[in-house]
Structure 1
Amino acid sequence: MSFVYRAICRSGDRLVPQKYQAFWNHPAGPKHIHFWAPAMKWCLSLAGIGNTLLPEERLSLNQSLSLVITGAIWARYSVVITPVNYNLMTVNIFMSLTNGINLVRAIRYRYRTDQEKSAKEKKE
């Protein structure tokens, strides 16, 4: 598999214009995992946006909370590693924010349903 990867990188070296070579060869550029890991992590962020369209009763508190915490931890980590990876920081901040919205929506829903249950119990 590494042979295929190296062949793709060699062909990219010839195809990428000179003005983009600095980005192409950067330690956080497309030739390294430091580029592709955040690129794939954007899928989680897009899923978080999709979850904002779900009804509140279908949201998971545990999932939203874990993605908020994970995003915050990795956003911090992405600026202390070498090379500093701003793409990773951006995707993790975005993931924390989108799932933070879902977390707030889920908590508000749980609170409202608990209030309605206690109101019904008081009537009985």
Structure 2
Amino acid sequence: MDDFFFGPGVVLITFFIAAAYSIYSFIKAAHLERMAKIEKGIDTNAPSNNNRYLDLKLGLLMVGVAFGLLLAYMLEKAFRIDELVFYPSFMLLFGGSSLIVAFFWVKKIRKNK
């Protein structure tokens, strides 16, 4: 029992405490923002414009991550390297580049409207 608590147990407990505190802080901040809007007389039920084109962004992100995984697998097999560094690095590289492409694509769509 002592080995678990002083080994991965501390990390797990710390992780769950940090996650719970983050969720609590997010909910509290959203509540305070809503109360401030109500005090100023701003409509709190107005639709947000932040989540427009979310499907496009998520779709391009998934395509980028999948392409990164595929390319990492092909490089690993082609060069016969058993390092696992290819997978996360290529996932992040192509996932990030796909989000940049999505940003410019959405910018172009908004400009045309």
TM over 0.5: no
- What is the TM-score when the length of structure 1 is the normalising length? 0.29
